[in-house]
Amino acid sequence: MTLAFDIGARLLYRDALLLVIDKPPGLPVHPGPRGGETLTDHLDGLRFGLPRRPEAAHRLDRDTSGCLALGRHAKALARLGKLFAGSAVDKTYWAVVDGGPAGEVGRIDFPLARRSDDPRSWWMKADPAGDPALTHWRVLGRGGGRTWLELKPVTGRTHQLRVHCAASGWPILGDAVYGGAPRGSALHLHAQSLTIPLYPKRAPITVTAPPPPHIAQAVAGTGF
């Protein structure tokens, strides 16, 4: 399947070091073992005169939409990599979940580990012996048996938000891996904003991305 879209039209921010795009859902960022189209296939359209294409500075799951930061060259990627690895970047996600927490604000502090010893497997589980993982959450709306959440991951573990929500008893809507949704369902997880302290003598850069239609519709059902 080929996703027909204009990557230039999805550009949210641009400067000498950094690009931020609104990644569409359903498109992997990097090539996988099964092959197929990836975001990398489109990045030449964002060179803007530089000799090489930009590259992703962090990860978003294939089915997660929203803000993705790209480094425009090797030095930019190295600087961004340190910021993401050091949890200096503030990441805010929107999720619509089945059910929802009893309170209005809280934190999920479940360590995470791989489900399998197979290095090709990316499926994770909550495991006391796993790597520390911390997520802050806040309720933004409720309705129809679902809850609209703001999620802020402090750590950046694989599938952290999806596993944390499922392990808390309120899986993200459309999650076929951790929530039991039918295969091919639309995941309701959106990288809504990034705040990046890229330049020491300037204010941090904040970029936001509008939710895709399926998430906007679900959010509207929670009272927004």
* Residue 40 neighbours by CB distance under 10 Å: 15
User: Does residue 109 have an active-site annotation?
Assistant: no
Query: By three-state DSSP, how is residue 194 classified?
Result: strand
Q: What is the tally of helices (H) and strands (E) in the chain?
A: 3, 12
d(Cα 206, Cα 196) in Å, to the nearest integer?
A: 6
Q: Where are the alpha helices (DSSP H) in 113-184?
A: 160-167
Q: From the candidates 41, 44, 61, 63, which is the catalytic residue? A: 61
Are the CB atoms for 105 and 43 separated by under 8 Å? Answer: no
d(Cα 204, Cα 196) in Å, to the nearest integer?
A: 5
d(Cα 191, Cα 207) in Å, to the nearest integer?
A: 10
Question: What burial class does residue 53 get, using C-beta atoms within 10 Å of its C-beta: 0-12 exposed, 13-18 middle, 19+ buried?
Answer: middle
Which residues participate in catalysis according to the annotation?
61
